[in-house]
Structure 1
Amino acid sequence: MITIDMANSYRFANLRANQMRTDYVARQKKMAKEEVKRVVDLIAYEKAQSERLTKTCRKY
């Protein structure tokens, strides 16, 4: 009886650990994608600002 309970506890702990690992990896991937998107948006903004400034400077 104790052996069965220990085996079930071990199995449950492994399942829980795997789920925690999967959740962690998914969160990290999501965070990385969001960070890349922010950087891409910043680069696009900086490029637009630079182009606008260049056009303004050419007028003078």
Structure 2
Amino acid sequence: MENVPAPLWIAACAHRLQQQWHTVDPLELEDVARDLWRDERLRTLSPEAAAVEWLRPITE
């Protein structure tokens, strides 16, 4: 989603990751989300979809 500013995309992605991992420090999840944003393929997805895609091996 190229029209979403990076800080907003990262925050939304971190929020979605928090739904999966309630006990992980939110700042760590924000770091993970930032790494996901750096992945060109994941960055083209919505933040929620990118988180779900990244979590797929864990949740299957």
Question: Given the two structures, how large is their TM-score scaled by the length of structure 2?
Answer: 0.28
Higher Rg of the two aligned structures? 1
Of Structure 1 and Structure 2, the greater helix share is in 1
